[in-house]
Structure 1
Amino acid sequence: MLEEVIQGICNEVCWALPAHVNRENNDWEITIDLFASETAQSLSEIISLLNSELSKEIQNLVREQVYRRVLEPFYQSESPYADWERGTNNWCAVCAGSIGSAAIYLMNDNEDKLNTCLDRIVKALKWYMKGFPADGTCMEGLGYYTYGMTYFTGFAEQLFEYTHGKINLLAAKNCAEIAVFQQKCYFTGGITLSFSDGSSREKFRIGLTCYLASHFKEVEVPDLALAAGVLEDPCARWMGAYRDYSWTKKYMVEPLQVQAARKPFEILPDAQWAVFQSASGAVLAAKGGNNGEPHNHNDVGSFLYMKEGEMLLEDLGAGEYTKEYFGEGRYEILCNSSLGHNVPIVNNRFQKAGKQYTCDNFKGDGEGNILISYGKAYGDDSLDSLIRMIHFVPSSGVTRIEDRFWGNKNKLTATENLVTRYEPVINKNEILIRGRKASIRVQFEEYLEEIHFLPRIHTDHEGKEQRIWLIQWEVPVKDGYGGMVFYIK
């Protein structure tokens, strides 16, 4: 049965995802993308593991197709084969790691050719590592961290063994910080940080975690109930699934260091992320950054708020991946637009996309205070400055947010904008948001005459439509200055 499946894969016209193929090229069937690379790695490893149990015909077919579709096109091309070879995101790790893994399995009969290929792969993966700032944050989000690091570490182990320990990719200077990034993103109730194209319910790979924990003593393991099942990946990627078995078996020799009680304040200065957690389990995460990040959302200055394992003020994370999602219409989609984040609307405008639309000052003092200056994110000449100050109380989770606006005295307007998936209710001078288990109140220092609740539809990463509520109110502005203070309790 396995041989029939392998033969079917080898008979496919193209291994690349249709969206990644340029049909105008005469040789479009031979395109090395994420999926073609993953397929080459999977088949190469499977025939190597089951060498004595698979027919020679099937083994030869796999070698022929992996060489024809992936190894030879890559080896014979000038560097870079494509943008991903010098990319600083998950594409580089997945494609280069997969090709390197397949090469070690199938090119071992030509040592010179193999070593030339591996040298090029190692150079490519140095680009991937450059994508992590010194604090180890994956700017693409937690899910892409797991994706890229699975292929990076899978190849790293093979390379270490092939070179008898001479090349150790995990010796990179910031690899220890990268290894502990995962544990900073998991919270009570299984909720996770969903910045960029992330998810608030991300599962972790137990194999990858065991491997990293065996190499870096600082690595802690989230609640094992949050580990992905072996068949949970909808794309059925072999590299991660097999290492959930092999690495857990190999490296879980001693009891894993289960994630301890979190520090109340976690500042990631290079990424400009701050994560606060109270003794009662309330969590606030805020970010600065810029609007030209990998898998970017226009979300400079935004925050999210969780309580008792529920996200009550949202970061929606990834939407459904469509042509428009990665095209010119990306920022017309709610979850990618600043309208879909907890940031103000200024002069009836949203934030703009591009690295120049940025936070120009981000400070966290380790005592629950954050200052974010992000007026540049709007690209509006009539806005001189926008500063958000956040104070989080570690004992209770009560949060004070103050926004200050400076700009043209004749043009400046500002509207606060909060996002939730639960229908809000006005209760005197506060907004009540009730989740399934928890609830919060948004309170104001001054009485607001008018608050708008605007229903919207968000299409999530699985293509399911969800009702989202935007909570909006006008900020008092006079002579080019406006200010607003509200509390989350």
Structure 2
Amino acid sequence: MRIFFLSLTLCLLLPGARVVAQAPQPGPVLANMPIPAHPRLLLLKGEEELIRQHLEQQLPLRSTHQAILAECDKLITEPCLQRVLTGRRLLSVARECLRREFYLSYAWRITGQAKYRVRAEQELLAVAAFSDWNPSHFLDVAELTMGVALGYDWLYAELPEASRRIIRNALVQKGLQPSFDAKHNDWLQKSNNWNQVCNAGMVFGALAIYEDQPTLASAVLNRAIHTVPLAMQAYAPDGAYPEGYGYWAYGTSYNVLLINALEKCFGRDFGLATQPGFLKTADYFLHMAGPSGQPFNYSDCEPTSTLQPAMYWFAARLHRPELLWHEQAWLRAASPSQFAHNPLLPTLLLWSSSLSGAAVKPPGATTWVGRGPNPVALLRTSWTAPGAIFLGLKAGSPSVNHGHMDVGSFVFEADGVRWGLDLGVQSYESLESKGVQIWGAQRWSVFRYSTPAHSTLVLNNQPQAVQGYAPLISYSDQPGFLSAIADLRQLYPPLRVAQRGVAIVDQRYAIVRDELATTAAAATVRWAMLTAATVKLRSAQEAELRQDGKTLRLIVQAPATITLKTWSTAPPAAYDAPNPGTTLVGFEVVLPPATRSGLTVLLLPGSAGAPPTGPLPTLAEWPRRAVGATRR
């Protein structure tokens, strides 16, 4: 195994060097291990009966099952997939292949209706006939390989030998072999979702053809077991996923699929599930959504949330039904047909079987703080009150994968309204099609990625330092004072001190407190909150925000000499996406040379009543618990 990975590493370092599928040899981790007969991916032969039993017992599961069947009936009437690129990507086709194969194969195994099997085979043959699976954007190959492998495995006994051969050859030639080409496999050395998704797709492909290509399959599996921990290191130590809420759903879901596939076939996870922070990440995802259901969508993430089947795997693994608090709310409030766009929806039915009858009670903790490359603090007053206060603070660095210049930004909810928000991602294709290089220095010219687009500080009209890093340095979980403090100094090199604290006080209101110290030069600081509310400036230091019939008072307590104003979020460049219905409200202040200053803003919901009297506490007066050592 050491020889194989040394060869692979050398080839990755040599320009133009290539590793072909014939080179790898089976490694020691999986050498000569028995493997179940088909079907072997996620759902072994005979396990369908347990799902059928739970469908009879639980209405939410039965409704989800029926939604999958209804979607399959629609798919049968549609044309088979074609190899149509969107820009440089085949990803939409790959994802639809996975969805179709998962849904149709599931429907066949649970109902036994031949129409689903026949259509699944047609889709498999159509995709197998593609000229290639677009290895230049290897996520496409990974998702196509997973979809084709799943269909091949779940339909194996009923597939004609001629179809098996065509599909198997496609898995090998268009899926697995390209993963040993150094032009396409730099994801092996990445610590982000590409590593997780690509390794998962290759593992599914390898398990599907294991008996026919044991040397190739063993090499793929051993490689995944040795390389996916590089991406999983990002969860340490507390489970905060650096790429944010939306990419958690992507990378973590595929990581879970990889682990579950290995466990089903070999009865062990080879230590992957116990990688530091991985099992803790379910709490991160649980706390990331506010009472409105909207997530803290920092980085390249959408401002919406949806059902996540991977949480059922975590809940079952950890014996913690409360992790399904949001998932159960989704199933109660929405029609399962709304989730039919999710390629992985059938896993909800696979992974929920061991949770039959378990009561989902409200989670206990109202504070969650996670360290790591992109630390985050999440505070709330209640899990059950619709009007509860929710406050999230992001620390970390713009340099993380999919990062924005949003360090120190926050989101704020109260009275059922998201008052302080994040614009989130702009479509990559909308930028790349206009020639914008969003994975390099030009990234920071995109408005949504820039510092002024976020609820944080702008210093001297300059962007945050890309390589700067802000740790969370303390927090409080006292019910009367939930808080977190981050040290932002590295993001603003001209300052000697830059700390931001956010707090929920007396379960009624929030404060945002910044403490700054200048060097020998003066500094101009802009404080702003991004909002979708209508803003009315009541005085130099108070603004009234209105949204959905509710009100919020934004009161600047310090410094006393500012004048509140608003800024437009209209796109400054032709390639920027519009941001309708949003505005920035805040103030600017000039800090004299060699001085220390404090900025204190009170966010008072309409339900909170009168504002507090007297000055609000400085950061030194906040109750504190140490967050612990930080890491990048």
TM-score normalized by the length of structure 2: 0.67
Which residue of 230, 235, 242 maps to 2:346? 242
| Runs of 4+ deviating beyond 6 Å | 228-231
1:304 aligns with 2:411: yes
User: Which residue identity lines up with residue 62 of structure 1 in the other structure?
Assistant: I
Q: Paired residue for 1:329?
A: 442
Q: What is the Cα deviation at residue 426 of structure 1?
A: 1.1
Which residue of 424, 431, 435 maps to 2:543? 431
Question: More displaced, 328-337 or 84-93?
Answer: 328-337
Which residue of 49, 58, 62 maps to 2:163? 58
Q: What is the Cα deviation at residue 214 of structure 1?
A: 1.2
Which residue of 484, 489, 494 maps to 1:375? 489
C-alpha distance in 2 between matches for 1:91 and 1:254: 36
Q: Paired residue for 1:7?
A: 125
Question: Equivalent residues in 2 for 1:43-442 (5 A)?
Answer: 43-74=148-179, 76-77=180-181, 82-165=185-268, 167=270, 169-206=272-309, 208-218=310-320, 220-223=323-326, 224-226=328-330, 238=343, 240-248=344-352, 250-255=353-358, 257-258=360-361, 260-270=362-372, 271-279=374-382, 281-321=388-428, 322-323=431-432, 324=436, 325-354=438-467, 357-359=468-470, 362-367=473-478, 368-380=482-494, 383-396=495-508, 398-428=509-539, 429-442=541-554
Distance of aligned partners of 1:469 and 1:463 in 2 relative to their CA distance in 1, 3 Å threshold:
closer
Distance of aligned partners of 1:269 and 1:157 in 2 relative to their CA distance in 1, 3 Å threshold:
closer
CA contact (8 A) 1:198 1:317 kept: yes
Q: Secondary structure at the match of 1:118?
A: helix
Distance of aligned partners of 1:407 and 1:135 in 2 relative to their CA distance in 1, 3 Å threshold:
same
C-alpha distance in 1 between matches for 2:338 and 2:171: 26
Q: What is the Cα deviation at residue 369 of structure 1?
A: 3.3
Q: What is the Cα deviation at residue 468 of structure 1?
A: 2.2
Which residue of 590, 595, 598 maps to 1:483? 598
Q: Secondary structure at the match of 2:314?
A: helix
Which deviations, in whole Å up to 9, do the C-alpha atoms of 1:256-278 show, x marking residues without a partner? 534x1553322224443211112
Q: Paired residue for 2:567?
A: 454
Distance of aligned partners of 1:214 and 1:86 in 2 relative to their CA distance in 1, 3 Å threshold:
same
CA contact (8 A) 2:570 2:578 kept: no
Q: Secondary structure at the match of 1:190?
A: coil
User: Which residue identity lines up with residue 320 of structure 1 in the other structure?
Assistant: S
C-alpha distance in 2 between matches for 1:68 and 1:487: 61
Which deviations, in whole Å up to 9, do the C-alpha atoms of 1:410-431 show, x marking residues without a partner? 4322221221122311123411
CA contact (8 A) 2:206 2:220 kept: yes
Distance of aligned partners of 1:108 and 1:233 in 2 relative to their CA distance in 1, 3 Å threshold:
farther
Question: More displaced, 131-140 or 181-190?
Answer: 181-190
C-alpha distance in 1 between matches for 2:200 and 2:393: 32
C-alpha distance in 2 between matches for 1:256 and 1:331: 46
CA contact (8 A) 1:277 1:394 kept: no
Distance of aligned partners of 1:389 and 1:168 in 2 relative to their CA distance in 1, 3 Å threshold:
closer
Q: What is the Cα deviation at residue 118 of structure 1?
A: 0.9
1:37 aligns with 2:155: no
Q: What is the Cα deviation at residue 372 of structure 1?
A: 2.3
C-alpha distance in 2 between matches for 1:467 and 1:438: 16
Q: Paired residue for 2:556?
A: 444
Question: More displaced, 402-411 or 299-308?
Answer: 402-411
Q: Secondary structure at the match of 1:295?
A: coil
Name structure 1 gaps, 5 residues minimum.
17-29
CA contact (8 A) 1:307 1:438 kept: no
Q: What is the Cα deviation at residue 447 of structure 1?
A: 5.4
Q: Which of these two proteins has the greater Rg computed from alpha carbons? A: 2
Q: What is the Cα deviation at residue 469 of structure 1?
A: 0.7
Which deviations, in whole Å up to 9, do the C-alpha atoms of 1:384-416 show, x marking residues without a partner? 2222233321521x1222223322454322221
Which deviations, in whole Å up to 9, do the C-alpha atoms of 1:86-114 show, x marking residues without a partner? 22211111100110011101122343442
Question: More displaced, 329-338 or 49-58?
Answer: 49-58
Distance of aligned partners of 1:162 and 1:466 in 2 relative to their CA distance in 1, 3 Å threshold:
same
C-alpha distance in 2 between matches for 1:98 and 1:326: 24
Question: More displaced, 224-233 or 208-217?
Answer: 224-233
User: Which residue identity lines up with residue 404 of structure 2 in the other structure?
Assistant: H
Question: More displaced, 108-117 or 276-285?
Answer: 108-117
Q: Secondary structure at the match of 1:131?
A: helix
Q: Paired residue for 2:116?
A: none
Name structure 2 gaps, 5 residues minimum.
1-75, 77-118, 605-632
Distance of aligned partners of 1:251 and 1:437 in 2 relative to their CA distance in 1, 3 Å threshold:
farther
C-alpha distance in 1 between matches for 2:148 and 2:181: 22
Which deviations, in whole Å up to 9, do the C-alpha atoms of 1:317-375 show, x marking residues without a partner? 22222323434432222221111111122122231322xx1226622133323332213
TM-score normalized by the length of structure 1: 0.85
Q: Secondary structure at the match of 1:290?
A: coil
CA contact (8 A) 1:190 1:309 kept: no
CA contact (8 A) 1:419 1:468 kept: yes
CA contact (8 A) 2:292 2:418 kept: no
User: Which residue identity lines up with residue 48 of structure 1 in the other structure?
Assistant: D
Question: More displaced, 145-154 or 54-63?
Answer: 54-63
Distance of aligned partners of 1:406 and 1:167 in 2 relative to their CA distance in 1, 3 Å threshold:
closer
User: Which residue identity lines up with residue 570 of structure 2 in the other structure?
Assistant: I
C-alpha distance in 2 between matches for 1:230 and 1:88: 34
Q: What is the Cα deviation at residue 130 of structure 1?
A: 0.9
CA contact (8 A) 2:451 2:463 kept: yes
Distance of aligned partners of 1:97 and 1:89 in 2 relative to their CA distance in 1, 3 Å threshold:
same
C-alpha distance in 1 between matches for 2:268 and 2:194: 26
C-alpha distance in 2 between matches for 1:339 and 1:442: 19
CA contact (8 A) 2:366 2:380 kept: yes
C-alpha distance in 2 between matches for 1:93 and 1:394: 42
Q: Secondary structure at the match of 1:475?
A: strand
Q: Secondary structure at the match of 1:38?
A: helix
Which deviations, in whole Å up to 9, do the C-alpha atoms of 1:35-85 show, x marking residues without a partner? 2111011011112212244443333222111211121232x446x962211
CA contact (8 A) 1:71 1:103 kept: yes
User: Which residue identity lines up with residue 238 of structure 2 in the other structure?
Assistant: D
Distance of aligned partners of 1:84 and 1:243 in 2 relative to their CA distance in 1, 3 Å threshold:
same
CA contact (8 A) 1:156 1:168 kept: no
Q: What is the Cα deviation at residue 225 of structure 1?
A: 3.8
Q: Paired residue for 1:24?
A: none
User: Which residue identity lines up with residue 455 of structure 2 in the other structure?
Assistant: N
User: Which residue identity lines up with residue 542 of structure 2 in the other structure?
Assistant: E
